[in-house]
Amino acid sequence: MDKNVGRLNTIIRYCDMIEERIDELGDDAKKFLDNSTYHDLCSFYISQIGEKIKLLPQELISDYPDIHWRGIAGMRDIIAHGYEKVNLETIWNFIVEEIPLLRNTCESILRKLVI
């Protein structure tokens, strides 16, 4: 299997895990902000997504400028290296604004790669 297919599938899996936490723990910012397990889990998933994005080739991601690839990878760095300083509202906004778009885009890329 192409490494990029595996990476994209992993990104989708972590996006799905974030959606599962939303379904399980609540879909509003207050529930997220008040539950350390909730934001710890989602932060971990975002960190893993950022790691996989860093491994995708520039030629692949440059065709999808609607995704803030560098911003997502940068969010990983912020979480990994300065977690105690992370603004949880920023994480929540990132989850609701970026994750669904990222997931859909990764699925689109996969469809093109496996044809």
Is 7 noted as a catalytic residue in this protein? Answer: no
Is 76 noted as a catalytic residue in this protein? Answer: yes
Catalytic residue among 13, 81, 103, 111: 81
Catalytic residue among 7, 39, 76, 103: 76
Question: Which whole number is the average pLDDT over 83-99?
Answer: 88
pLDDT given at position 24: 95
pLDDT given at position 82: 76
Q: What angle do CA 59, 2, 107 make, to 5 degrees?
A: 70
Question: Which whole number is the average pLDDT over 75-92?
Answer: 85
Other Cβ atoms within 10 Å of 13 Cβ, number = 15
Q: In the predicted model, is pLDDT for residue 85 greater than 90?
A: no
What residue spans define the domains of the chain? 3-113
pLDDT tens digits, one per residue of 15-69: 999 999 999 999 999 999 999 999 999 999 999 999 999 999 999 999 999 999 9
